[in-house]
């Protein structure tokens, strides 16, 4: 069921989104060779608590998972696509890329957003991957307006990516707001005109995931981390977006 948000919920999500963007930017500034993904997780949780908010992913058991997610931040390095678990053993190295994915609970509402950032100097191929994935997110957001469908978002992303990188299948964007994951499903590829119609008051997370190599992914033995099947790198960008009367508003920005 798609939940349209009240004015009060939207106002709370707008504030949550500002805080969210601030925290993601500050965690990104900590990314450098030698830091562990666990240290980034600790920093993110501290920032959320300083705001008086709660991490949304910690303790949350998504569909299909056997155990609750154990951390605040999701850290997916290089060939890890999404859902990487922070670890004291995972030290970042020059030339890596890391996706930082965060969910925040503020006054009973949720926002969801992610960025992928370089660790020191990265290759041109990785730089292209980050730029195209981020731009794919904004192209998807541009397709959001009342009367458009979720398929229009997927179609816009797929058309823009145009086989330069492969689009991960089996993972997608989603409604967000009253829950961290709610209806509808927001595809990263597909046909225009298909799926649910967008209506003012809907709040959705759009999150393209692009791979340098194959589109196929596997789940690692920890039961959470999704990695590319061929071990080649992957990037992920995400915003929480409100459908407005005239188009849309990105909520997870400053």
**Which range in 12-20, 110-118, 212-220, 221-229 contacts Mg ion by CB under 5 A?**
110-118
Q: How far apart are CA 210 and CA 236, in angstroms?
A: 7
Q: Shortest Cβ distance from residue 88 to Mg ion (Å)?
A: 25
Of 96, 112, 152, 249, the residue at the interface with Mg ion (CB under 5 A) is: 112
**Which range in 25-33, 109-117, 132-140, 220-228 contacts Mg ion by CB under 5 A?**
109-117
- Count of C-beta atoms within a 10 Å radius of residue 77: 22
Beta carbon nearer to Mg ion, 152 or 207: 207
CA distances to 2, 15, 73, 229 from 109, in Å: 15, 10, 18, 35
Q: Shortest Cβ distance from residue 167 to Mg ion (Å)?
A: 16
Q: Shortest Cβ distance from residue 209 to Mg ion (Å)?
A: 10
**Which range in 71-79, 107-115, 149-157, 220-228 contacts Mg ion by CB under 5 A?**
107-115
DSSP H or E segment with residue 35? none
Residue with tokens 């590319």: 228
Beta carbon nearer to Mg ion, 56 or 227: 56
Q: Shortest Cβ distance from residue 238 to Mg ion (Å)?
A: 5
Of 205, 210, 212, 241, the residue at the interface with Mg ion (CB under 5 A) is: 205
Q: Shortest Cβ distance from residue 118 to Mg ion (Å)?
A: 22
Q: How far apart are CA 160 and CA 235, in angstroms?
A: 16
Among positions 49-88, residues that touch Mg ion (CB under 5 A) are none
Residue with tokens 């850290």: 75
| Residue 116 makes contact with Mg ion by CB under 5 A | no
Binding-site size, Mg ion (CB under 5 A): 2
Helices (H), 34-177: 37-50, 124-142, 150-161
Q: Which residues of 160-197 are buried (b: 16+ CB within 10 A; e: fewer)?
A: bbeeebbbbeebbbbbbbbebbbebebbbbbebeebbb
Q: Shortest Cβ distance from residue 171 to Mg ion (Å)?
A: 9
Beta carbon nearer to Mg ion, 211 or 252: 252
Write out the two tokens for 207.
């999150």
Q: Give the binding site for Mg ion (CB under 5 A).
A: 112, 205
């Amino acid at each position: 069921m798609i939940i349209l948000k009240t004015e009060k919920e939207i106002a709370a999500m707008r504030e949550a989104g500002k805080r969210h963007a601030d925290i993601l930017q500050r965690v990104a500034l900590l990314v450098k060779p030698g830091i562990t993904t666990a240290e980034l997780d600790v920093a993110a949780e501290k920032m959320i608590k300083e705001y008086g908010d709660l991490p949304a992913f910690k303790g949350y058991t998504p569909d299909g998972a056997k155990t609750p997610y154990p951390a605040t931040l999701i850290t997916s390095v290089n060939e890890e696509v999404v859902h990487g678990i922070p670890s004291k053993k995972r030290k970042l190295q020059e030339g890596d890329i890391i996706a930082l994915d965060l969910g925040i609970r503020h006054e009973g509402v949720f926002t969801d957003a992610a960025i992928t950032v370089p660790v020191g100097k990265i290759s041109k191929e990785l730089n292209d991957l980050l730029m195209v994935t981020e731009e794919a997110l904004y192209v998807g957001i541009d397709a959001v307006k009342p009367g458009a469908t979720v398929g229009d978002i997927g179609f816009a992303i797929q058309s823009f990516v145009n086989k330069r990188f492969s689009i991960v299948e089996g993972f997608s964007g989603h409604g967000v707001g009253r829950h961290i994951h709610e209806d509808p499903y927001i595809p990263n590829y597909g046909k225009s005109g298909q799926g649910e119609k967008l209506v003012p008051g809907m709040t959705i997370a759009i999150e393209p995931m692009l791979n340098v190599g194959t589109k196929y992914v596997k789940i690692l033995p920890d039961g959470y981390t999704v990695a590319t099947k061929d071990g080649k790198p992957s990037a992920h960008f995400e915003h929480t977006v409100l459908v407005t009367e005239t188009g849309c508003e990105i909520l997870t920005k400053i």
